[in-house]
Structure 1
Amino acid sequence: MLLSGLTNTVYKILIIDDNIQNIFVLEDILSPLGNVYFSESGSNALALIDKIKPDVILLDIEMPDMDGWEVCRTLKANPLFSDIPIIFITGHTDPEFEKLALESGGVDFITKPFNASICCLRVHTQLKFRQQNQLIIKAKEELQQLVNQVPMLVTYWDDQGQNLFSNDNSGLWFDSLLGDVKGKHISTIFPNELSNAILNHHRHITSDALKYIVTVPQGIGASFYEVFQSKMKSSAGVDGYLVTVVDVSEVKHARQALYSEKERLRVTLNSIGDAVIATDTKGMITFMNPIAERMTGWRLKEALHQKIENVMFLTDSNTQQKLLNPLYLALREHRIVAMALNSQLTSRGGHVFFVEDSAAPIRNENGEVIGAIMVFHDVSEAMAMAMKMSHLANHDQLTDLPNRILLQDRLTVACSAAKAYDTKAAALLIDIDHFKYLNDSLGHQYGDELICLMAKRIRSLIPTSYTLARLGGDEFVILMSETRSVEASSKLASKLVDAMHEPFALDGQKYNVSVSIGISVFPNDATDAEELMRHADVAMYRAKQEGRNRFCFFSHDLEHSIMERHHLETRLRKALINDELFVHYQPKFDLRTNEIVGAEALVRLVNDEGEFISPAEFIPLSEESGLIIMLGKQVLNKACAEAKRWLDKGHIIPISVNVAAAQFADPDLACVIKEALLNNDFPAHLLELEITETALMIDAADMQNKLSELTSLGIKIAIDDFGTGYSSLAYLKKFNVDVMKIDMSFVKDMLNNKHDYEIVKTIISLGKSMGLVLIAEGVETEAQRHALIELECFMGQGYLFSRPLNTSDFETFVIQKKLQG
């Protein structure tokens, strides 16, 4: 084709035959020529043709529903399919059938049985014919499109000046070309000046194009046309002249205006307020206007042919590092280049200007870069003013905090960052309770002072990475960005509410102020910054409705969870401060004799209604909140005191106390234990610390030293919940421990689960080999007790013997056991 070129065509061949055997034979023969499709009926084939658009059709004449003649006539009557070549296939050899096939629109005829080579050649010939026809049609279309799109008037005339062709029939060039102008004389179509010039050149024209320009007056001006005229002979043998016309009026007018433009440019450059410096392609100065002379301190005659960096000394205003002049970048990359931010120019006399603007390449009429121009101006005053205006536009005038505009921008950035890094962003909307009453009663001056004091106090309570903004009136917003914990917003809100209980001093008087805070978390509560703020506002009003002096989350479910956690932490802190923790004791037994051989101290906490809170809830919370060390210390002291009281009554009962990983890592643990023993006058050998194997493996070498330090006090060490962690036996055998406790999860199913039984058996064997005392937890049935005795584990605890008991019940239980014994 003219423009598109030849393509590697994969032909599509459609076989229409009600005999599937014929189809298989033809498919085998024709598959090397392209993709073969088939249909066993004429009616189905019509729908398939529209779908696959075949390049050739092999059509059986005799078919039950529609015979080949009817299918062929239907296709030829449809303009979409009429050009598809149809080759008839039949078992008849009568010439009449071939005649009918050709008359109905078929292009060839194949008889059965099929001769593979002849069949393949016939189909291949039709495919090639179709491809060539399509190429010719496409070439004609592309040629016509090309001629129609060229930005010139293309015409063809006979020797008498009669028109044979024009690519403009819409009157784009001349109104007289509108419509069909074929056969019209050139003098009736072109302006007189143009038609006369073309006719006068007819007798001098050869096959080589003659080029000349014709001026056509128009009103107060003129149009200029460049004409290309050559002699040619058409394929039909008609002599004629090819004439192309190009409108060069703009070029002519531009050249006429160039001189006056240059003069106007010179005057402009010398009178504008911007500095202008031009250079050649090597950065050598070729021009400077008076403003550039003043700002650089160089006269033009001195600066000519000097490097621009010698005349225009640029540095970074922050670092004072020398900057590359952007003119060189404009020369290298052939584009407009803006000056770097914070650029300053130091003049020859040492005066400093903050400057900005740009450099651009200078091109000649051929588009070639012949130099560059630098345009810049002094922005020292504008820069200072812009910074001031930007600050005023983005900050609250009273508190100098970010205002709503800046907050919105930071909210958007925070939400995008949270989404990108799978973190969270939280907005805390703070509103001063009853501020209108305070403002009206104290006066606006003191109201403003209170707002400033409030801003200062809030600012002191939050990290510098958080944004504190004032929305106006008595509303503040804290933006917590890139936080991973929802609880962090709860803790901050709680701290803010509590901090407001400290009175504010206004004119020597103290005023108590409370706040209501609404919290919304992205992405939990909102999908964007706008929704985040809207939901924080809803949550804040809910805090108002619920009595003020509090905070609320937007999400009810999340708020419920967070508030429960907050209440639990508050209750735990209160219990620790007021010494309200309870300790229950679960006795340990000799499995053979049912004698009490010790007790495990277990901490208990009650809620405000006096109901027990599960240790599974408050123990993890105490670890997360850092309260576990204080909690452990209280439990240790209570257990030692109680065990000492029993001892004084003649009940010698070793007591074991659980030690969390955080407690065990505490460098003061040995001192805490020593103090508890001394304060309660409790024998060290009756105290046992239960430490999980996971805690021991945090830093095995350090833990070994810690264990040695603890055992030197005379106390015993037990490994709690053995088998649930990931101990390395190589380290375990080095640990200085006395007791190994088998976790209840294995004991529970040891008689029902072969694997658990083997685990218990292995743990007992391991403990015996290390010379450790073995205690089984969670013993609930007599069968479990007997099984443990058979495995030579002789100590245990569990509901078979007793659940954890309070101090009074435990003492009664001990006395009863002694009486029974």
Structure 2
Amino acid sequence: MLGCFAKDILPKELYEAFHRCLTKGIEHEVFNIQLSNPRNKIEYVRAQIKLRVKEQEVVGVIFTLSDITSITHTKKLLSNESERLRVMLNSIGDAVIATDNNAIINYMNPIAERLTGWHGEEAKGRHIEEVMKLVDATSNKTLVNPISVALKEQRIVAMALNSQLTGLDGRVYRVEDSAAPIRDVEGNIIGGIIVFHDVSESIAMAVKMSHLANHDLLTDLPNRVLLHDRVTHACKVASSMNKNVALMLIDIDHFKYLNDTLGHHQGDLIIKDVAKRLESLIDLNTTLARIGGDEFVILLPDVKSASVVDAIASDIINTMNEPFRIDSQEYTLSVSVGVSVNPADSTQAEEMMTHADAAMYRAKEQGRNRFCYYSDDLEYQFKQRQSVEKLLRNAIEQDKIEVFYQPKLELATRKIMGVEALVRLRDNDNKLISPLDFIPLAEETGLIHALGKSVLKQSCKAAKEWADKGHKIKVAVNIAAKQFTDGNFCNLVADTIEQAGLASELLELEVTESALMHDFDEIKVMLNKLADLGLTIAIDDFGTGYSSLSYLKLFPVDVLKIDQSFVRDMLNDTQSMDIVRTITSLAHTLNLQIVAEGIEEKQHLNSLIDLGCEFGQGYYFHKPMPKEEFDKLLG
């Protein structure tokens, strides 16, 4: 280069800087230049120009060049990486705070700013504990920041459970995540970083879901799941502290009928009002739960004496008897209450529930609107009830329901004019179970509809067979009160008659007086529809219920059956004789057929004939018998 002009040697960018310094008299300058045409892979140069001045004249120049290409590229890479990291930290959904090794903040991303309420620049230089104030959400006790622990113990630290962050603006957040120390390439700790996020909504949702899982949607009372936990806990505490626990199962009497009549919306309103009344009777230590449609449970975890339980049970009965007002209408309810006491009659939660249920059913059997305690005898009855229900259900499903027939005779001639169909059920030993044990159970469980259908079908089929053989035997089938609540009952009867091919005049339906009292207009419509089919309607057990001349006049009744209790006592009790005489006279006046039940002695027969009773049935003539035996009787 010696002897050459700088213009010819230097790259254009360097020469222009060199020339500027000379012309402007800049004695010293350092600058970086990017070469447009790199030489020997030199792209970036650091130039230092220093003018040699003597007597205010430039006599020379010292021009020093350094290759900074690799340094510049490295800085660019670091800058790009830093920018990518900044964008990433500012974009993620979690809050990020970085500190030095003394837990002094040097970085916060926007999410951290929002949760803490601090602006990043204001937070820089402050200790993490000042900016990020954590407390236990339950106890409100101050918590140590995870960064402080991470720096001290030189490890990753998870945030304490149940952590709550209070921001500078007073907002409160539930937060969780972790902190970790930051190390340099040599493994030395140079700072810390904490990553956390807001879990307030998640925790609120979890709390809500837990509440929904353990509480009844309609009343917001504890449900069966939560009740079971509390009963179990109460039993354990009672066992260790020698206390008594009482469980009261409350069932609304006839609520299904009320619910079906008024509609489910009105029924729900009544359930809510019942819950409120029950809540007014208990204290804070007592649990009130709703475990079913119309079933509530009260748990008394510490019973001092039986009189306390008696008082509460009596209050429940009395409170429920007060009319409920829904949409300007008044409704009167009653409840049946079953009581189980631990450890007197049970030791476990499941056993208490079972025993209270059994006691409640005893209360219903005794007339409802009362409470009963559990006993060993009641447990036996409860198990028997379960066994009979299982037998009944299986018999219906397997078509093993039997029908016996008791002949009805014309008393004067002893000629068989008809039969009464009587349902029968056998146990596993092939012994007959009393109808008193399974018919009320069928009504309670709703099996009465399937049971009645089976009896009706068999009876119509039998009557058809007898008719085909020349015996015009009318078959009388008992209809339970609950069958009248089935809007499809008339169609069922019509279809059964048609499928059997039976002349409708050979079918008689026997209904009790109590069955006619539920809904006068509805029952009247149904009986008229049945009468239109051509069959006859009989009032069973007449005189034992709500005997009323009005329904004899307005309902299409054809037959009155005198209850066997009057017939049995008529020889020794003048009042019974007068009742039989009156019913017979009434039937003749209204042109109704009269049938006497329970004729067991010849004197019964003679007296009934003298009173003008034309037809009867009883053990004096024949007991109920299987169809095969009755077939032989017909010959």
Short-chain TM bin: 0.3 to 0.5
Q: What TM-score do the two structures reach when normalised by structure 2?
A: 0.47
Greater relative contact order (Cα < 8 A, sep 6+): 2
